[in-house]
Structure 1
Amino acid sequence: MKTVFTFRPPRTLQEEMKSKYPEADFLFYKSAEEAERLHEAEVIVTFGDDLTPEHIGSCPHLKWIMVASAGIDHLPLQAIADRNILVTNARGIHKVPMAEFTMGFMLNHVKRFPELRKLQKEETWNKQLPLGELAGKQLLVLGTGAIGSEIARLAQAFQMKTMGLNRSGHPAEHFAEVHPTAELAEVLPEADFVVAILPSTNETKGLLKEHHFQAMKETAAFINIGRGDIVEEQVLLDALHNECFAHAYLDVFIEEPLPAGHPFWKHPRVTVTPHISSITKRYLPRAFAILDHNLKQYIQGKSDFQNKIDLTKGY
């Protein structure tokens, strides 16, 4: 069973997989382009951003793609669906670092750490800088999956009110209330923090429109750690210009890396981070735990796969 990796994990993880599964032939490459034996693969392990329809077409034995990240929006989904190839991902491994990152943004917003640092550089003792609290603030999370629920759990520890949004409005853990997507415009005026953690799908691309930002509190903060295409950049820039809300904390963008000279870089009410909210030294070990489980299922001919993707929905 040829299992081709289009990235090279640490040698310790490579050796661990080889010792656990001697019946599998593991091949490790730096990228799909450098994988000269990709066409032999029965299983491909990828980060999901390097496979093309041509790659899929050149792999006659391919049965399963394991994506070692949560996002699958860069996969050639139609080519994969046409072949009825199993796709699984590493959904859930990001919840701890991304929830912590989000709490950092929110604390940064109410405690004004950048301004305090600036005052230190200026050697200015200013006790009049007004600081706020998270306690009692209303949090609205767009997306109530593993990451969204972990954000809500941490927010509750800070005595915040938690409100979620998903397709149907079905209840989710750690949210006091959950609303369907159709009610987005109605609940936005209540939020002090709006956190977007939605995947990129046909339903979520451009979801946030001008009237949504106009509905927000002028003091609210918008945090996007999901996908950049949830809002058109000009819509967001116009909302900032019109002071519809106070600040945008952006970790994801339509084009990455964010081009030099882009208005976001120097905007006074935008904080830019380089799609780093999920990064942690524990990332790959967590992803490999899911791969390990699914590989056992695959070899044993079972079907209890973790994080099986519905290709018709894109998640």
Structure 2
Amino acid sequence: MILFPAKISSRHREKLREAFPEQKIVFSDNQDETLTYLPEAEIYVTYGNDINETLISKAENLKWIMVLSAGVDELPFQMLEEKGIMVTNVRGIHKVQMAEYAISMLLQVYRNEKVLFQNENDEKWDKSVRINEITGKTIVIAGTGAIGQEVARLAKAFRMKTIGISRSGKKVDYFDENHTNEDLTEVLPQADFLVSVLPSTKETKHFYIDEHFKAMPNHGVFLNMGRGDAVKSETILKAVETGEIAHAVLDVFEEEPLPANHPFWNEANITITPHLSGLSPHYVTRAMEIFTMNLEKYLERKDDFMNKINLSRGY
């Protein structure tokens, strides 16, 4: 049985039933209904925030959890590994919207759009506003997976030099250079832009430290749309306030929602967005395409699943 506590539209429900008429698919509308069907479920489709050890212990026949999001860092990996439960996610479906977000935010900073919008509100005609170009600059992208690669591809349209940072440092398309995480400080003096799309793992928690921002040019821009715990809030604030970098664009934070009294709100050289870089009207359609593809493989007893999570690594 396939249990769907994840909320999807009636259109997606019917499409799934038509594609797999022989499968028992239950679309759960509430927690009580989920718990009723859970012991029977072999496949569990969720957005991930309901997965915990208590739920897994009640899922007696569970073989596969499909998470309709990219973030899986809160899952109880040890218990899942002990029970032999496979986990897949929808890593990669965020690449279009998040790459567009990154380029739009870098343009926003360099075109000084905050000031332009304020001048518009104030009915102020001021042609002295400083405008710059992102074309020909150097961008360092930490995280060279699907999202980072798409950012690099779009950056190439602006004739940027693209430098990728990853755990392995292996060569990836659209990057002029690729380096390991340990090489970050060495390449940062070149970085007009540092874009972070790192996942949340033990290795990436508080990954960015003071020395990284000190190594950047003082006109540099830091953009974080990966995970908020990749850098301490006070580290970013210090880098901006002391002029080590010119601007920070933040879509993710250590604490979300960002508290109303947080100093980020009052810093002119920090742009804040409410963790929306991954939003898209096409999100569920893309997620269901991945699930459908993997379900076909599962039913055919194949093992080449898309986005299979390494439970020992957590990603």
Look up the match of 2:248. 248
Residue 154 of structure 1: how far off its partner (Å): 0.4
Calculate percent identity across the aligned residue pairs: 44
Measured against aligned partners, the alpha-carbon deviations of 1:86-131 in whole angstroms (never above 9, x if no partner) come to 1111011110000000011011011111211111222222222221
Unpaired segments ≥5 residues, structure 2: none
Look up the match of 2:212. 212
1:99–1:35 CA distance, 2 compared to 1 (3 A): same
The equivalences for 1:111-130 within 5 A come to 111-130=111-130
1:220–1:30 CA distance, 2 compared to 1 (3 A): farther
Measured against aligned partners, the alpha-carbon deviations of 1:62-94 in whole angstroms (never above 9, x if no partner) come to 000111111111212121111111111101111
1:58–1:170 CA distance, 2 compared to 1 (3 A): same
> 1-side partners of 2:32 and 2:233: how far apart?
32
**Which one-letter code corresponds to 2:163 in the other structure?**
M
**Which one-letter code corresponds to 2:27 in the other structure?**
F
1:81–1:108 CA distance, 2 compared to 1 (3 A): same
1:32–1:267 CA distance, 2 compared to 1 (3 A): farther
Residue 14 of structure 1: how far off its partner (Å): 0.7
> 2-side partners of 1:254 and 1:84: how far apart?
32
The equivalences for 1:223-242 within 5 A come to 223-242=223-242
Of residues 71-80 and 264-273 in structure 1, the stretch that sits farther from structure 2 once superposed is: 264-273
Look up the match of 1:17. 16
1:5–1:220 CA distance, 2 compared to 1 (3 A): same
1:21–1:43 CA distance, 2 compared to 1 (3 A): same
Look up the match of 1:132. 132
Residue 29 of structure 1: how far off its partner (Å): 2.8
> 2-side partners of 1:191 and 1:219: how far apart?
9
Look up the match of 2:294. 294
After the TM superposition, list the runs of 4 or more consecutive aligned residues in structure 1 that deviate by more than 6 angstroms. Answer: none
Residue 33 of structure 1: how far off its partner (Å): 6.6
**3-state SS of the aligned residue for 2:34?**
coil
Residue 267 of structure 1: how far off its partner (Å): 2.1
Residue 32 of structure 1: how far off its partner (Å): 5.3
TM-score (norm 1): 0.96
> 2-side partners of 1:119 and 1:259: how far apart?
27
TM-score (norm 2): 0.96
Look up the match of 2:68. 68
> 2-side partners of 1:289 and 1:131: how far apart?
42
Look up the match of 1:40. 40
Residue 183, structure 1, aligned to residue 183, structure 2: yes
Count of aligned residue pairs for this structure pair: 314
**Which one-letter code corresponds to 1:153 in the other structure?**
R
Of residues 222-231 and 124-133 in structure 1, the stretch that sits farther from structure 2 once superposed is: 124-133
- Asked if structure 2 preserves the Cα contact closer than 8 Å seen for 1:7 and 1:31, the reply is no
Look up the match of 1:86. 86
> 1-side partners of 2:55 and 2:16: how far apart?
24
Look up the match of 2:165. 165
1:236–1:30 CA distance, 2 compared to 1 (3 A): farther
- Asked if structure 2 preserves the Cα contact closer than 8 Å seen for 1:32 and 1:38, the reply is no
Look up the match of 1:222. 222
Residue 153 of structure 1: how far off its partner (Å): 0.4
**Which one-letter code corresponds to 2:6 in the other structure?**
F
Residue 259 of structure 1: how far off its partner (Å): 2.3
**Which one-letter code corresponds to 2:43 in the other structure?**
V
Unpaired segments ≥5 residues, structure 1: none
Look up the match of 2:4. 5
Look up the match of 1:276. 276
**Which one-letter code corresponds to 1:19 in the other structure?**
E
- Asked if structure 1 preserves the Cα contact closer than 8 Å seen for 2:78 and 2:312, the reply is no
Of residues 210-219 and 192-201 in structure 1, the stretch that sits farther from structure 2 once superposed is: 210-219
**3-state SS of the aligned residue for 2:279?**
coil
1:32–1:264 CA distance, 2 compared to 1 (3 A): farther
- Asked if structure 1 preserves the Cα contact closer than 8 Å seen for 2:199 and 2:227, the reply is yes
**3-state SS of the aligned residue for 2:268?**
coil
> 1-side partners of 2:39 and 2:290: how far apart?
24
Measured against aligned partners, the alpha-carbon deviations of 1:167-186 in whole angstroms (never above 9, x if no partner) come to 12110110000111111111
Measured against aligned partners, the alpha-carbon deviations of 1:258-309 in whole angstroms (never above 9, x if no partner) come to 2222222232221111111111110010010000010011111111211111
> 1-side partners of 2:31 and 2:83: how far apart?
19
1:243–1:34 CA distance, 2 compared to 1 (3 A): farther
Cα RMSD (Å): 1.3
- Asked if structure 1 preserves the Cα contact closer than 8 Å seen for 2:72 and 2:314, the reply is yes
